[in-house]
Amino acid sequence: VITDLMDKLTHVFGQGLSNSFYPVPQQAIGVGSAFEGWSPHAEDVVYHVLVPLHPPPGRAFHLEPNTAGMPQRNFCVRVELLCTCTREQLGENMLCFLHHPEEELRRKQDPSLLHNLCTGSYLDVEKTVHWFYRFVRVAWLLLPQSCHWHLMLQPSSRCCKFQLSKDKESCMVEMIFGVQQGDSDIFVGSQPTDVHVIPSTTWLETYAVAEAKFFRHISRQAPQDSWYCKFLQLLTCILMGVGFSSYTLKTVVMHLLNTIPLTQWRRRDFLQRLVDILKYLRCSLETKRLNHFIIGNERFPMEISLPSDFRAAEPLNLFQHLASNPDAHTKAMHEYICLQTR
């Protein structure tokens, strides 16, 4: 249902925006636990989708690293004006923003992307999300689903969040927008963050598409009775009330899926794999180091496209905060004991 809805929604987006000066949405990509097959709570599942944005005609997106004051790798998306005089000469109804007087542009052509969705020369997350919120409200009325489902938009400054309901059924969708890094499966996205104050021109690097492709890569190779998704479901349910994030456990399981043969993830291996997961987590806590699964991982499947420097990069330590904060490390060790006891 969600995939079909997003296909139709982005189709309407594309039709309405193809000749405009707004970013052009591409086909939505399902990411996160719901699309990877291990949602811990079916009744509370949130369907995360990433909608890639392409620049409109006469524009180009350039990613500029911006690491000031943020624990994540993040970027600003600079919008560059391109010369479109050639297109004008070919008879296309488009004036060149670079080579026509501003007064003529203002009189004959819609405002530039720079005027509406940018702060300075940079694509603004909050302005972009707010604009798409308004577009979703209009586009929804053109979809066949609107006859059977009720759409309720939820407030959010960095993503487009809405609830769909029909009779006793309901589901939550969180749509984030992303700009692709080259032709890779790594994006910078508008996803919410734990950091309370974040500039609206900051786009966070997201690995969600590459991770979803990794799970599809594993599912194609694993025996039909593999239980690796059930391990994640069980452990994330047990995590309720314990301080480890589901992403921490997902990272541990992905590392083990990349090293333990897939024939050893069956039901009969259940206890041994649980032991392996907990041992890996404990070792990571003791050394205060849990390497990011993608950055610096030379064993990452080659069929999934990464930026050229990713595999040889210095691995990102997800437990860096434990190395710099003894109290946080002590608390994490105590939480591990609680997890192990459960």
- The answer to whether position 124 is within a domain reads yes
How is the chain split among helix, strand and coil, in percent rounded to 5? 40, 20, 40
Question: Mind listing the pLDDT tens digit for each residue in 274-287?
Answer: 999 999 999 999 99
- The answer to whether position 212 is within a domain reads no
8 and 120 co-located in one domain: yes
Reported for 86-93, long-range contacts at CB under 8 A and 24+ positions apart, including other chains, are 87/57, 87/58
At residue 307, the 3 state secondary structure works out as coil
Query: How far is Cα 5 from Cα 146, in angstroms, rounded to an integer?
Result: 10
Cβ atoms of 96 and 84 within 8 Å: the answer is yes
202 and 289 co-located in one domain: no
96 and 174 co-located in one domain: yes
- Taking 90 as the threshold, does the pLDDT of residue 66 lie above it? no
Question: Mind listing the pLDDT tens digit for each residue in 251-277?
Answer: 999 999 999 999 999 999 999 999 999
Cβ atoms of 306 and 324 within 8 Å: the answer is no
Question: Mind listing the pLDDT tens digit for each residue in 126-151?
Answer: 999 999 999 899 899 999 989 999 99
160 and 243 co-located in one domain: no
> H helices of the chain, where?
2-17, 33-36, 85-89, 102-108, 113-116, 125-140, 208-221, 228-238, 246-257, 270-287, 320-324, 326-341
Question: Mind listing the pLDDT tens digit for each residue in 67-111?
Answer: 665 556 899 999 998 887 765 544 456 677 666 666 665 655 666
227 and 167 co-located in one domain: no
- The answer to whether position 214 is within a domain reads no
116 and 73 co-located in one domain: yes
DSSP code of residue 226: B
- The answer to whether position 198 is within a domain reads yes
CATH number at residue 32: 3.30.460.90
187 and 233 co-located in one domain: no
Looking at residues 303-321, what average pLDDT do you find? 92
Q: Domain total for the chain? A: 2
Question: Mind listing the pLDDT tens digit for each residue in 173-197?
Answer: 999 999 999 999 999 999 988 776 7
| pLDDT of 39 | 83
201 and 232 co-located in one domain: no
226 and 203 co-located in one domain: no
- The answer to whether position 216 is within a domain reads no
- The answer to whether position 217 is within a domain reads no
Domain hosting residue 18, numbered range: 1-207
